[in-house]
Amino acid sequence: MEKRLRSGVLGSLLFLAVGLFGVGCATIEGAGKDIEKAGEAISEAARNAKN
């Protein structure tokens, strides 16, 4: 019973996370742009740390 409850809670959390991600990035294109911006920020931070 406990295992079933845990699975239900994890499934609900996953569903909620996917829903929130979908709302934040209305389209796949928007998600790609967000990921690209994050990558650029990480690259810039790495370049600054290197110098």
How much is the pLDDT for 26?
63
What residue numbers bound the domain in which 46 lies? Answer: 2-50
pLDDT tens string 1-51: 667 767 777 888 888 887 777 666 667 777 788 889 999 999 999 888 877
How much is the pLDDT for 39?
92
The CB density around residue 11, as the number of other CB atoms within 10 Å, is: 10
How much is the pLDDT for 41?
93
d(CA 30, CA 12) in angstroms, rounded, equals 25
How much is the pLDDT for 24?
62
Return all residues near 21 (Cβ < 8 A) that are at least 6 apart.
Answer: 31
How much is the pLDDT for 4?
73
32 to each of 5, 7, 25, 26, how far by Cα in Å? 34, 30, 9, 11
How much is the pLDDT for 23?
64
Our count of domains for the chain comes to: 1
Dihedral angle, C-alpha 49, 44, 20, 17, nearest 10 °:
-40
